[in-house]
Amino acid sequence: MIEPESGNLTELGSWPTPANVADQFSYTIQTGFTTPPLNKEGIVRFRFSCDEEPRDPFTREIWVVNTQPGFAHPLSIAVSGVLPAVRRQLSLLTGIQVSDFSADGHYDLIVASGVVKGSKLDRAVGDETGLEAQPAHPAADTEHIKGQIAEDALAAVRAGTPLLAIVPDGRSGRRSRTATGRAGAFDYQGQVGDTRAPWMGNWLFVRDHATFASLPADRILGVHYQAHGKASNGLLIERAAGAAEPEVIMGYSRDHDRKTGAASFACKLGSTPVAGASCARLQRSPATAVAGKQHRISHPVDATPAGLGL
């Protein structure tokens, strides 16, 4: 095992080479194997080699990050029309209190998607389908447009509360981005679109940014992000008149298309920070308790408050 940064090498075990068996491709060397606690952030490399062929070792990389970002003070986060999975992710973070948005409340951050009673998503979102696409609690009758961020939530953003807008599908993307764009955050010009056909591809690429701190950047997304590009999309946004330039954090494109869109971005509505995400299945992977902290391979919504400067 090769530790991150220091490069210290620790031998984890040694086993005899199994005898060759005709027409057998693989051999069990050890079952139930465990490693020491992975208590340092960064890439941990595991190298397996055979003394008879030392020039061809097998190396496996595991990217270890802390799933509990530290905040300067406890945060109050309001959710408006989000999928239950998003609410669960937020509730797992320490130092955060999650509640339903109220126009009379005061919050450090609003997380909104525009999912209201009767919403039907046009594709699976993460591992949630069917009833999972409904709000976490029975929704009261509302005049909010399906797929569009509630106007009272946008009013709170205009008044200074940061916003994280999560787009669950293409139709929601058109409505929520149009509403946010009309509010003056950016100029929305449509979407790149998802994959054209099952045999065609699309891809996501990410730059260095606080939103995805501790993860590999300036590259195509890998397994570290637990993201599936097939159902993702990219938003075509430009600077709105009188507004600051949107900062694209994660880009998106697809085969046979000259357009590149934003799968994750940051901008401002007036002086209020706004972050948007339309990358499908960017979700938590199972966490493992290590030295009193939680470490995992991916880094989803939990880093967004830090990315917004909270």
Last-in-domain residue among 20, 44, 66: 66
Do 120 and 171 lie in a common domain?
yes
Average pLDDT, the chain: 76
pLDDT of 32-59, one tens digit each?
888 888 888 888 999 999 888 888 889 9
Element (H, E) at 87: helix 84-91
Buried b (16+ CB within 10 A) or exposed e, 64-97: bbbbebeeeeebebbbbbbbbbbbebbeebeebe
Domain co-membership, 110 together with 208: yes
Domain count along the chain: 2
Query: Can you give the residue range of the structural domain that contains 89?
Result: 75-307
Q: What gap in Å lies between CA 252 and CA 279, rounded to an integer?
A: 9
Supply 48's token pair.
Answer: 């397996």
The pTM for the full model equals 0.69
Cα 67 to Cα 295: distance, rounded to the nearest angstrom: 6
The tokens for 8 are 């210290």
Of 66, 95, 110, the position where a domain reaches its end is 66
Q: Please check whether residues 213 and 80 belong to one and the same domain.
A: yes
- Tell me: do 167 and 58 sit in the same domain: no
Residue 236's domain is classified under what CATH number? 3.40.50
In the predicted structure, residue 5 carries a pLDDT above the cut 90: no
Which phi and psi (to 5°) does residue 67 adopt? -85, 0
* Whether residues 300 and 162 fall in one domain: yes
The verdict on 60 and 196 lying in the same domain is: no
Residue appearing with tokens 């020491």? 36
- Three-state secondary structure of 187-247: EEEEECCCCCCCCCCEEEEECCCHHHCCCCCCEECCHHHCCCHHHCCCEEEECCCCCCCCE
pLDDT tens for 200-222 read 888 889 998 887 777 788 988 87
DSSP state of 63: E
